[in-house]
Amino acid sequence: MNPLPIRLATAEDLPAVRAICLATCTDPALLANPKALYLVFADFYLNEEQGHCFVATENGRVVGYILSSFSQKKFAAALKEKYLPLLKKVDPHLCRLQHALLFACHFWPAFPAHLHINIDPAYQQKGIGSRLMENLIAALRASRVKGVYLTVSKSHPQAIRFYRKQGFRTLRNWPRMYVLAKKL
């Protein structure tokens, strides 16, 4: 089987990215409010960081994605100015972006980039995630980014194994999640 094409994501990919985001989400609070899910894990990246996001496609259909912000400062500014107000309108009790911003500032000097990756469940375990990660890591290195981090729930052992295989190491170990990071 030929590997699926990987390309830079565009704003036109947003509906497909949102669908995969929803299909792979396991957080009950976000599943109950998909608009909040999209704001937290999709919209910012495809609206603000298109040059740093990649999709895998089959016959033109997006089947996986990796989204990233290369600059935590840009991420923080856009969150405060644009996305926190939108999130508060969607769900005033859901403060994930605020918490993400506060918690992420501790990692900015060593790990200025972060990522989100999801693959359509029907396409998982086919090497697509590894190829998406390779594309992102190459782009990060080409932009001279020093490091990248992510968060992952401890309830996802398959994802944790994937990240470890990709060279990510534990930065923080919290009761329900890990912060994993990779120096570049």
Instruction: Report how far residue 150's alpha carbon sits from residue 160's, in angstroms, rounded to the nearest whole number.
Output: 11
Which residue in 102, 46, 111, 106 sits closest to 76, CA to CA? 102
**Domain boundaries defined on the chain:** 6-143
| Eight-class DSSP state of 40 | I
Q: CB of 125 within 8 A of CB of 131?
A: no
Would you say the C-alpha torsion 21, 23, 24, 29 has a positive or negative sign? positive
Q: CB of 27 within 8 A of CB of 176?
A: no
Neighbours of 128 (CB within 10 A): 23
Determine how β-strand 147-153 pairs with β-strand 169-173: unpaired
Say what the pLDDT of residue 84 is: 79
Tell me the three state secondary structure of residue 30. Answer: helix
pLDDT one digit per residue (tens) for the chain, 184 residues: 578 999 999 999 999 999 999 999 988 878 888 988 898 889 989 988 878 899 999 999 999 999 999 887 777 788 778 877 887 787 766 665 556 555 666 777 889 999 999 999 999 999 999 999 999 999 999 999 999 999 898 999 999 999 999 999 999 898 888 999 999 9
Question: Is 0.85 surpassed by the pTM of this model?
Answer: yes
Instruction: Report how far residue 94's alpha carbon sits from residue 18's, in angstroms, rounded to the nearest whole number.
Output: 19
CA–centroid distance for 84 within its chain:
17
Q: Domain 6-143: which topology?
A: Aminopeptidase (3.40.630)
Say what the pLDDT of residue 61 is: 97
Cα separation of the two ends of the chain = 31
Q: CB of 118 within 8 A of CB of 38?
A: no
